[in-house]
Structure 1
Amino acid sequence: MTVYDEKPWLARYDAGQPADIEPEFENALAMFEATVARTPGTDAIRYFDGRISFAELDELTDAFAAAITAEGFRAGERVAVFTQNVPQFVIAQIGTWKAGGVAVSVNPMYKGRELTELLTDSGATVLVCLQSLHRDVAAAVLPGTTVRTVITTSELDLQTRNEPAVFGGIERIACPGTLDLFELLDRHRGATPPQVRLGPDDVAFLTYTSGTTGPPKGAMTTHRNVVFNAQTYRDWIGLDGDDVVLGIAPLFHITGLVGHVAISLLTGAPLVLMYRLDPALTLDIAEAQGATFSVGSITVFIALMNAPNAEKSKLATLRKVYSGGAPIPPSTVHAFREAFGHYIHNIYGLTETTSPSHAVPHGAEAPVDTASGALSVGVPVYNTVVRIVGEDGDDLPPGEVGELVTAGPQVVAGYWNKPEETAAALPGGALHTGDVGYMDAEGWFYIVDRKKDQINAGGYKIWPREVEDVLYEHPAVREAAVVGVPDEYRGETVKAFVSLRAQADATPEEIIAFCKERMAAYKYPRGLEILDEIPKTVSGKVLRRELRSR
């Protein structure tokens, strides 16, 4: 493997022998407690005009653990958290650990059927949810689940600004048969939570896969996984208590759980929450709070660039910018730097790798492959070995395309109650990612696409992201997605879906002609549809199955 003698900034990150780091804490709770002891008075969470210090967060989470224990919760049971990006999410996560339990993060976009599947699969006995989500979704399905205790809360709590752009039309709602979170915490304020022992291999939370390839599976994320990758974020990027974390990723997603919550608990950096993303308001808050670091999907950064108040001064302090969860077109990285003056560093991982397995070192710029136009996702992070394997499972040499197989301390223990799926995806503890890519001669990794997304047009193999990268170069295109659709002659052909920038105008024929000039004849889209929005998961991944169904 290459040693980066001529690249000092890569010297620690050799793809074959990555630098080692040792977990500093036995579990994620100990990580938090060390920060409480070190900086009790500093802000742990900022939520509009609300503030919660680390000492206050410690007290609130003690009360939460004592409260659910009094309601019959026992160590090892699961607490499902069904909220948006609000402080109550963090309170419930840490409080669950203090009660010896496993936190289950629930996508707030779930409807009744999806929530039922997740509660049934996890066997959760406690549900913490927003009042609005209880009324609209949870109340109807709870009687048939294992949930014994339902705790509701309002997104309006812990702040007073009630921003119209975010909270317009939201009111506090009475939820009969449930416990109000803050009444419960007040009753148990000052109580001592039960004494529990959490080991590094105990499950910290069940993180459900996004379901882009089938029914969601609960990845068993251990305390070792959480501690290791919190330290990875800290040491790789150079984060500390002087940073301010801008919470743009959904907290239920692995990026938000580790890249926002866990890194704040480890370093003592304040976590800025905004309920849910409003691009213009996010820019205002980032400026007011002096945000220095964030990580989120590229769709969020595209939205910020297209906000009406997108000015360089809004993100002047945001010097540590990372993006993962979806492919990043090089043209978007260039456009963001033009708009705000900062380079977006690529980061790559999956739910099953507890966020990053690869990243671009901070201060470095990822190379772009000249043949495919793909932007490198970086090099493997600490203690991580990644192989590129062929169909026969043998390692492939640099430059050849195969499946990424990842081994390291961030790889999860398996899928909850799914031994067959665990054995198939994690034989010997190494994750077969389902992502296809290659490593170049210098150790940089590139993701081509998901194995299942490859398009076979008359025997020619086409990767959607190659076509998408060209679409993103069109000045009118805001977002793009490509899928294969049935074709009588070719078997399968390329169809594109795009959304346009504000005030931009272009016809499908014009955009197809643009692509035709820039790629081989078998690659350019034969059909193109303009949508208001490209359907995506909350974490920013394109829902290709939904596009195919059109």
Structure 2
Amino acid sequence: MSAYDDRPWLAHYGGRPAHLRVEFGTAMDMFDAAVAAAPDAPAVHYFDSTLTWSGLDHASDALAALLLARGFGPGDRCALFVQNDPAFVIGLVAAWKVGGVPTAISPMSKVDEFTWFLQRYRPAALLALDDLYLEVVRPAIADDPGIAVPVVVTVSGLDGQTRDDPRLFAGRRRHRPPDTIDLAALVAGFDGPAPRRRPVGPADVAALLPTSGTTGFPKGARISHANLTFNTQIYREWTGVDVGEPILALAPVFHVTGLVGAVTLAMLLRSPVVVTHRILPAVMADAIREWRPVFAVAAITAYIGLADESDITPAEMSSLRLRYSGGAPIEPAVAERLEEALGGYVHNIYGQTETTSPSHIVPPELRSPVDEETGVLSVGVPVSSTVVRVVDDDGRDLPVGEIGELVTSGPQVIDGYWDDPTATAAALTGGELRTGDIGFMDDAGWFYVVDRRTDVINAAGYKIWPHEVEAVLAKHPDVAEAAVVGIPDDYRGESAKAYVVLRAGSPTTEADLVEHCRVRLAAYKYPREIELVGALPRSATGKLLRRELRGQAAVRPRSTDPDPGR
């Protein structure tokens, strides 16, 4: 028996179930229940338009009927290459109706990246934005005719609304590529009957989603219907968002956070999901004012954008009473600043694509404790039916308070990656996920994430956690963002380098920041180099891409410092 078997985190459950009884076997069951219970209620808000649950059912029937007519088979992949648009939800449901697998491809992908996805997934159908079809899909297929997709449906971000917000659509026009099928015309011309459903079960794949890609090219996470319905219900039970309350898609819906924490949560709650094509702070601020959403979960950068790049006031933010952030630990100083600027506390949530979004959460009635030694905020406690352990390099449980790798097991953990047995064997064994995240559990059952295993810096045998250095930099009043990576050092092996984004108009120099760190950190920890940059590289979901920073770092000359602990 170890401390993790005792599950001390149950003390923070506040009456929530230790083991969750799941209401729906599949996501399709969840959707059908929403249509039956509230056919005329809003399902999707998109600028000045609203799609009801019955309207969404009709639109997805139209696409599903086309797929069946074109020979789409059970288990075939339907690639979704769109932004935060109603079309994503239509494509998602249509694929489920015909027993297919919705396969999300990031709309940030360029030709080479998109080609890789097509070669890996071999989709039988593709739903793409018209401009992405012209700029990415058509060139990719021209370069490699062997990856042509049998059925291609296109849609415009201008469809389904009349506002044509110039911040998003300036200079845009609708394209109707003659070698594709137009979704708007398809839906408008469809008069039934509803296509014959193909059954899906809890173990079937409900979505192929790209992992974050922070350490390399994304892998395709096989998220089952059982994974999806379980963690959708976890969001409901643990946040307290109620039936019919609007949900803001503040994260990309083609990523697990936006899919589960916005799209399928809306299905479970018969709530409208608010989508805005792209996640621009000023556009999101207007959506909050207009639709008064109650719940959102996103990377902390989305909240920073609202605070720094929009004019929204705390009073206008007041409807958004449930604010959650995942993707990376929040710096305590950042959390305090956002609470002051936006008038509400941002709660931590933690998980991976492989855990179908949350494995840990901070209940809305509580606040994250801060660990005094590392200075990090807790990411929360394991959710219902979930066990998390902290292990050493050999997989043995570590005592409370000791830092190691987090290993997660529960109904939300996927069974593997698409067509990648090597990666599956490395990360997923016996129903447990080796997360690659380094952290610890305190004696009260709160968990803390310090860094990724691959990001730890080894300076002459001394370990430097990048997060610890970043937390010190975040306390400087002129620092907006900071990221720390290891750079080669002929004497120590590695030293720390910081990339820093300053607040507008700041006179602070690199030397000022080095000194700021030197007086606050042990000698071996403070960054020997600081580079001021305009922005940090991030994934489409807001996760920091340290590998890109490491790639930029030049080889350092041999140090003459005689003390490797300096």
Give the TM-score range, shorter chain: over 0.9
* TM superposition shift of 1:501: 2.1
* TM superposition shift of 1:480: 1.3
Residue 495 of structure 1 pairs with residue 497 of structure 2: yes
The two structures have a TM-score, normalised by structure 2, of 0.94
What does 1:279-290 align with in structure 2 at a 5 Å threshold? 279-290=281-292
Distance 2:500 2:346 in 1: 22
Quote the residue 2:110 is aligned against.
111
* TM superposition shift of 1:12: 4.4
Distance 1:69 1:213 in 2: 38
Aligned partners of 2:298 and 2:324 also within 8 Å: yes
Deviations 1:441-462 (A, max 9, x none): 0000001111111001121101
Number of equivalent positions: 545
Deviations 1:152-196 (A, max 9, x none): 110000011111111122211232311111222233332322221
Quote the residue 1:339 is aligned against.
341
Quote the residue 1:174 is aligned against.
176
Distance 2:431 2:425 in 1: 9
Quote the residue 1:535 is aligned against.
537
* TM superposition shift of 1:246: 1.1
Q: SS where residue 315 of structure 2 aligns?
A: helix
Distance 2:100 2:316 in 1: 40
Distance 1:41 1:445 in 2: 43
Quote the residue 2:555 is aligned against.
none
Which amino acid letter does the alignment assign opposite residue 419 of structure 1? P
What does 1:400-549 align with in structure 2 at a 5 Å threshold? 400-549=402-551
CA pair 146-221 structure 1, distance change in 2 beyond 3 A: farther
Distance 2:392 2:310 in 1: 47
Q: SS where residue 256 of structure 1 aligns?
A: helix
* TM superposition shift of 1:525: 1.1
Aligned partners of 1:302 and 1:478 also within 8 Å: no
Aligned partners of 2:7 and 2:387 also within 8 Å: no
Distance 2:426 2:8 in 1: 35
Distance 1:126 1:391 in 2: 43
Distance 1:194 1:140 in 2: 35
Distance 2:245 2:20 in 1: 21
Aligned partners of 1:79 and 1:128 also within 8 Å: yes
Distance 1:58 1:444 in 2: 42
Distance 1:94 1:112 in 2: 27
Aligned partners of 1:240 and 1:268 also within 8 Å: no
Aligned partners of 1:4 and 1:10 also within 8 Å: no
Which amino acid letter does the alignment assign opposite residue 73 of structure 1? F
Quote the residue 1:22 is aligned against.
21
CA pair 205-520 structure 1, distance change in 2 beyond 3 A: same
Distance 2:523 2:313 in 1: 40
* TM superposition shift of 1:332: 1.0
Deviations 1:79-126 (A, max 9, x none): 000011110011000111001100000101101111111111112111
Quote the residue 1:329 is aligned against.
331
Residue 10 of structure 1 pairs with residue 9 of structure 2: no
* TM superposition shift of 1:242: 3.6
Aligned partners of 2:251 and 2:541 also within 8 Å: yes
Distance 1:189 1:322 in 2: 41
Aligned partners of 1:65 and 1:194 also within 8 Å: no
* TM superposition shift of 1:3: 7.5
* TM superposition shift of 1:362: 1.2
Which amino acid letter does the alignment assign opposite residue 348 of structure 1? Y
* TM superposition shift of 1:324: 0.2
What does 1:225-374 align with in structure 2 at a 5 Å threshold? 225-374=227-376
What does 1:384-395 align with in structure 2 at a 5 Å threshold? 384-395=386-397
Which amino acid letter does the alignment assign opposite residue 406 of structure 1? T
Residue 82 of structure 1 pairs with residue 84 of structure 2: no
Gap regions ≥5 residues in structure 2: 553-566
Which amino acid letter does the alignment assign opposite residue 89 of structure 1? F
* TM superposition shift of 1:248: 1.1
Q: SS where residue 312 of structure 1 aligns?
A: coil
Q: SS where residue 252 of structure 1 aligns?
A: coil
* TM superposition shift of 1:252: 0.7
- Judge which range, 447-456 or 207-216, deviates more: 207-216
Quote the residue 2:134 is aligned against.
135
Deviations 1:219-257 (A, max 9, x none): 100000110000000000011224211111011110011
Deviations 1:133-152 (A, max 9, x none): 01111101123315111111
* TM superposition shift of 1:509: 1.3
Deviations 1:243-276 (A, max 9, x none): 2111110111100110010100110111111111
Distance 1:384 1:8 in 2: 14
Which amino acid letter does the alignment assign opposite residue 442 of structure 2? D
* TM superposition shift of 1:4: 6.9
Gap regions ≥5 residues in structure 1: none
Quote the residue 1:216 is aligned against.
218
Deviations 1:45-65 (A, max 9, x none): 000001001111111111111
Aligned partners of 1:63 and 1:191 also within 8 Å: no
Distance 2:14 2:284 in 1: 36
RMSD: 1.5
Q: SS where residue 352 of structure 1 aligns?
A: helix
The two structures have a TM-score, normalised by structure 1, of 0.96
* TM superposition shift of 1:374: 0.8
CA pair 269-502 structure 1, distance change in 2 beyond 3 A: farther
Q: SS where residue 150 of structure 1 aligns?
A: strand
* TM superposition shift of 1:34: 0.5
Q: Percent same amino acid among aligned pairs?
A: 48
Quote the residue 2:67 is aligned against.
68
Distance 1:537 1:112 in 2: 17
Aligned partners of 1:77 and 1:124 also within 8 Å: yes
Which amino acid letter does the alignment assign opposite residue 18 of structure 2? A
Aligned partners of 1:359 and 1:379 also within 8 Å: yes
Quote the residue 2:98 is aligned against.
99
Aligned partners of 1:201 and 1:223 also within 8 Å: yes
Distance 1:129 1:428 in 2: 37
Distance 2:20 2:162 in 1: 42
Which amino acid letter does the alignment assign opposite residue 239 of structure 1? V
Distance 1:343 1:503 in 2: 28
Which amino acid letter does the alignment assign opposite residue 130 of structure 2? Q
* TM superposition shift of 1:8: 7.1
Distance 1:4 1:481 in 2: 33
* TM superposition shift of 1:308: 4.2
Distance 1:312 1:409 in 2: 38
Aligned partners of 1:284 and 1:314 also within 8 Å: no
- Judge which range, 294-303 or 274-283, deviates more: 274-283
Distance 2:158 2:14 in 1: 48
- Judge which range, 88-97 or 172-181, deviates more: 172-181
Aligned partners of 1:254 and 1:355 also within 8 Å: yes
Distance 2:240 2:94 in 1: 28
Quote the residue 1:37 is aligned against.
36
